[in-house]
Structure 1
Amino acid sequence: MTAQAPDTAAVSASPQTAPRLGLVLTVCCLAQFLVTLSVAVVNIALPAIQSSLGFSASSLQWVVNAYTITFAGFLLLGGRIADLFGRRRIFLAGIALFTLASLVGGISQNSGTLVTARAVQGLAAAVIAPTTLAVLGTTFTDPHQRHKAFGAWGAVSGAGGAFGALAGGVLTDQLSWRWILFINIPIGVVLFAGVAWVITELRHEGSGKRLDVPGAVAVTAGLLVLVLGIVQSGPHGWDSAQTLVPLVAGLLLIGVFVLIEGRFAAEPLMPLGIFRSRSVTAANVVAMTSGAALFGTFYFLTLFLHQVRDYSPLRTGFAYLPLAVSIMVAAQFSAALVRRTGARVTLVAGMTLTAGGLLWLAFLDENSTFAAAVLGPTIVLGAGQGISMAASAIAGVAGVPPHQAGLASGLLNATRQLGGALGLAVLAALATTHVKDLLDGAKPTAQLLRHAYASGYALAFGVAAGLAAVGVIAAFAAPGKPGN
């Protein structure tokens, strides 16, 4: 992906262009809000969707993963298309496609249509998300302003997910689960008008316009098949052919993707040389583990509150408010922390808080109340996520040559979504197997079901804490404060 030198008229940081800069930041943050909202808003409605469209316990996660996998798999291609054919034009196309897919998903009458619509949403998001970061990176040329812009972007990224949970609860409880998709339509219309008004066109003017479609297809297919294998482990076991065949096939396809990028692609989506940057590598590992932590939290905490504590969708949505506020507040301080202490200290602090919050949630049981066992850990987790999201966005493009800025930003988004998809698949498989083992041969009373579900979800939180701890270790490889 090639990011070009920005149009000076569009990126000037002079006082005369400050209002325009504010509008660009608003549009980019709203677009990122739409993308992240569409992950969490669905989680709250999962029980209602399962009942309405007949999803099984193991297939329900495809409502989430159909979106995240196509999102992750096509992110780099989406950014590349925007670089080559015009960020404004492709930005508008992505918003239009996202809005249309939301309409189709909202009126779907079966599980297949809904999953397909979610996959198309993910494809559109793969165009929107990298464009937001690339536009910010090329518009805000002053380092201080850029850090503040990335801080705002990070706050919206996290809070969009957390407030999506509240919106999902309100819409599902008061209207229908279908409105979690219909709500995207007015947002999409406003966003389309905003992009058309304030975003200036920017494209690569070179003659070569080659797209690495084989690479994008290979990585997306590999992720889909790999997640399918993980999902199959629940009902069939890890040693079954139904599990092993797709796992092996998925790993082979991902290997093909690496081979395409390293040997055959004339203009690879992911030039492997970018990982020579210690900052880029550390930021992407943090993003991957952070994505697994946050996606897992939304999924399992929703199920815990609904199935174990009998929360309504509306009450569940309100339960996410402390997490949302914590993310937003912490993200506002992240950029300042990076400037004062460096990316390394900031990322270590953020991921340590994330791991601590998840470990605290691992002690949930069927008698746990919100005030005693959910409120504290979600605030800690939110603070960690708010700090690490903005800091990883800054570290992920630090020291990257200007012509690779778009690649670096798209890669960061891709690894976050990849971590979320694979992490959710693994955690769901472990939780499902654990619940199945606890219920095997026993009379499924209401009390036993609550105990089994709580135990399975607590296990998932514990494993997620371990994944976040990997992010802590990776954060130590990020660059320290300049001059130290």
Structure 2
Amino acid sequence: MAHDNMAHDTMADMQSPTTVVDPHPNGRSIHGHSRRSLNGFSETPTMVGPTLERQDSEESLKKNKMVSAEVLPVANSWNFSNERKIALMILVAATHCIQFIPFALGLNVAVPIAIFFGLPGPPGGPWIAAAYPLMHVISLLPGTRLGEIWGHRNVFLLGALIWIAFHIHSGFADDYISVVVLRALSGIGSGLIEGNCVAILNLVFPPSLWKKTAFVIYGCAAATGATAGGVLVGIPAQLAIWRWSFWLLACLGGASFFLSWLVMPQDKRREPHGHFDYVGTYFYVAGLFLYDFVLNQAPAVGWKTVYIYVILIIAALHVAAFWFWETRYAIQPLMPLSIWKNKCYPPLIAVMFLAHMALGIFLWHLSLFGNSVRGYGAIATGAQLVPTAVMGCCVTILAGILVSRLGAKWIFHMGLTSGIVSLIIFATMPAEQTYWAQAFVSAICMGMNADLVHTTGQIVVFLAVPFNPEEPRAQGVAAVLIDMFQNLGFLTGLGIAGTIESYTNDGGAHLLTGFRNTAYFAIGLLVLAGGINMVFVNIPPLGPPPSADPEKAGKQLSDGM
């Protein structure tokens, strides 16, 4: 029945094209390439899969040059049946959940893998936890750009194949370092998947209750995978062998990715001759990789090691070169730097970055606490975080409701406060105590922190970066950078906390002291985030659904800002 519905949708779209408003009549043509939409597709429609004919409407955009994409009646959407929309929501959310389970695997199965290879604990600090999200972050922005050129559905498929292949290979790894490297390579697939899933959802769902619902479900899936997914991968690790944790993920991912790919529409506005910024991508990838390498390697070898400082300097030079290249020479920048000129966007990114630094510290050290201090097995270690997932799903829905009634800063404030409470509880936990006394409450409070901040940021980013017809890609890139900086915050938190722990736990003799000191540091991060939030984040409530008339919609936005 689902297949028949999709086939009917396809035929209906091809036989009855819908006239829609082109939101980018002023898009620039570069070296003969076609103009670009918000998500980077060419303006020329193609008859591949479900298609729509687009017609320019110059007059409507002349009335309002700076209207948020959440406000414009942008019709980058398909005439899908409700059944197919629901199927797409569910399957993309399932994909998002599965691709985040490896985050939990790095937290939960790190100790069993180390023990299997005869090691007393995860060597090299949190490398096994950081490897996957590191390459996820690095590939996210270039992967999204490739989707704009090759088609988001096609790049999604490429990412899925990479993800599955390296998870299968991880199960056959013959040493600990190989596991870390293969996890990193599978993270490349994850980055390609995520950026293009977000683009597909933005294209299919115009501003509406459908779109808000789609992104709320999408956010719930990430929280569930990154936390409760630890139980799923912990079962084979404890009852059989850790290798089956990877193979199980490969099987689940294969099924979910394939079904998602089937229900996704074929891209209608690709750029087969679009320009890819190879130089900017090199500086971006090298700078981020070297930066995170230093943060995660320094706890293992010490900051006094000479090559740590050398690599850190090289990383800083690459980041500076990236900024210089993007502003001066890039034909089509990988990251349109104009987005940073919007006064609400940098503080929004800063708050989300700091909040996820604290989240990474909490998740990693609560897992280590269960494994190393209380002697939990893989299943129980993963189960510690189930309340975080459940509460995260609940507050994700709550955030979707509150964002229409409260300014973003107040929702962020609730999330950051709950995170501080969580970390205070965690920092005061004794070694011997029932889980339900403090760890349970701490996990619940951290779920509120992570998902109130994450969901609110995803929804309001389109207000923080209003649509600019002079740079139609900027708003879409701004949304992708939200995910990138959240994951980068997670990685940075792991690296800095590893340094604090290694310098304060007396060579591993006092693990609990090291854990508590990292929790105190995370509390400081959330306090700093709260200060930035209250002073600089001034994003109004979304309010009722905006008018479909661009002139009225623009007035609503300007009045709110």
TM-score greater than 0.5 by the shorter chain: yes
Instruction: Measure the CA separation in 2 of the matches of 1:244 and 1:461.
Output: 26
* Residue equivalent to 1:469: 527
* Residue equivalent to 1:443: none
Q: How far did 1:219 drift?
A: 2.7
Deviations 1:289-312 (A, max 9, x none): 232222222211111011111111
**Does 2:530 align with 1:460?**
no
1:270-419 alignment runs, 5 A limit:
270-398=335-463, 399-401=465-467, 403-419=473-489
1:225-236 alignment runs, 5 A limit:
225-236=290-301
Greater fraction of residues in helix? 1
User: Scaled by the length of structure 1, what TM-score is found?
Assistant: 0.90
Residue segments in structure 1 that go unaligned for 5+ positions in a row: 440-448
- Check the 8 A contact 1:229/1:245 in 2, yes or no: no
Deviations 1:78-136 (A, max 9, x none): 00001110111111111111001100111111233222211211111111111121111
* Residue equivalent to 1:77: 142
Q: How far did 1:203 drift?
A: 5.5
Q: How far did 1:12 drift?
A: 5.3
* Residue equivalent to 1:425: 495
Instruction: Measure the CA separation in 1 of the matches of 2:398 and 2:528.
Output: 23
- Check the 8 A contact 1:90/1:127 in 2, yes or no: yes
Rate the CA distance shift 1:40–1:207 in 2: closer, same or farther, 3 A.
closer
The one-letter code of the counterpart of 2:518 is A
Q: How far did 1:30 drift?
A: 1.6
Q: Which residue of 144, 152, 155 corresponds with 1:90? A: 155
The one-letter code of the counterpart of 2:233 is G
* Residue equivalent to 2:27: none
Instruction: Measure the CA separation in 2 of the matches of 1:231 and 1:122.
Output: 17
* Residue equivalent to 2:279: 214
Rate the CA distance shift 1:91–1:117 in 2: closer, same or farther, 3 A.
same
What secondary structure is seen at the aligned counterpart in 2 of 1:371? coil
RMSD: 2.4
Deviations 1:266-296 (A, max 9, x none): 2111111111224433332233223222222
* Residue equivalent to 2:550: none
* Residue equivalent to 2:539: 479
1:159-170 alignment runs, 5 A limit:
159-170=224-235
* Residue equivalent to 1:198: 263
Instruction: Measure the CA separation in 2 of the matches of 1:90 and 1:235.
Output: 36
What secondary structure is seen at the aligned counterpart in 2 of 1:436? coil
Instruction: Measure the CA separation in 1 of the matches of 2:177 and 2:491.
Output: 19
Residue segments in structure 2 that go unaligned for 5+ positions in a row: 1-37, 46-50, 54-74, 543-558
Q: How far did 1:393 drift?
A: 0.8
- Check the 8 A contact 2:326/2:336 in 1, yes or no: yes
Deviations 1:44-94 (A, max 9, x none): 111111122356644252222221121111211000001110111111111
* Residue equivalent to 1:112: 177
Rate the CA distance shift 1:151–1:474 in 2: closer, same or farther, 3 A.
farther
Q: How far did 1:206 drift?
A: 4.7
The one-letter code of the counterpart of 2:439 is V
Rate the CA distance shift 1:47–1:13 in 2: closer, same or farther, 3 A.
same
- Check the 8 A contact 1:335/1:391 in 2, yes or no: yes
- Check the 8 A contact 1:172/1:179 in 2, yes or no: yes
User: Scaled by the length of structure 2, what TM-score is found?
Assistant: 0.78
The one-letter code of the counterpart of 1:71 is H
Q: How far did 1:161 drift?
A: 0.7
- Check the 8 A contact 1:280/1:395 in 2, yes or no: no
- Check the 8 A contact 1:229/1:247 in 2, yes or no: yes
Q: How far did 1:341 drift?
A: 0.9
**Does 2:84 align with 1:20?**
yes
- Check the 8 A contact 2:133/2:487 in 1, yes or no: yes
Rate the CA distance shift 1:306–1:11 in 2: closer, same or farther, 3 A.
same
Q: How far did 1:149 drift?
A: 1.6
Q: Which stretch shows the higher mean deviation, 140-149 or 402-411?
A: 402-411
- Check the 8 A contact 1:155/1:331 in 2, yes or no: yes
- Check the 8 A contact 2:100/2:222 in 1, yes or no: yes
1:43-192 alignment runs, 5 A limit:
43-53=107-117, 57-192=122-257
Report % sequence identity: 21
Q: Which residue of 414, 436, 441 corresponds with 2:506? A: 436
Deviations 1:180-211 (A, max 9, x none): 21122222222232133211122644575221
The one-letter code of the counterpart of 2:514 is G
Q: Which stretch shows the higher mean deviation, 39-48 or 363-372?
A: 363-372
* Residue equivalent to 1:444: none
* Residue equivalent to 1:446: none
1:26-41 alignment runs, 5 A limit:
26-41=90-105
Instruction: Measure the CA separation in 1 of the matches of 2:475 and 2:259.
Output: 24
Instruction: Measure the CA separation in 1 of the matches of 2:235 and 2:418.
Output: 29
Q: Which stretch shows the higher mean deviation, 346-355 or 279-288?
A: 279-288
- Check the 8 A contact 1:261/1:270 in 2, yes or no: yes
Instruction: Measure the CA separation in 2 of the matches of 1:436 and 1:258.
Output: 41
Instruction: Measure the CA separation in 2 of the matches of 1:254 and 1:12.
Output: 36
The one-letter code of the counterpart of 2:533 is A
What secondary structure is seen at the aligned counterpart in 2 of 1:370? coil
Q: How far did 1:232 drift?
A: 4.2
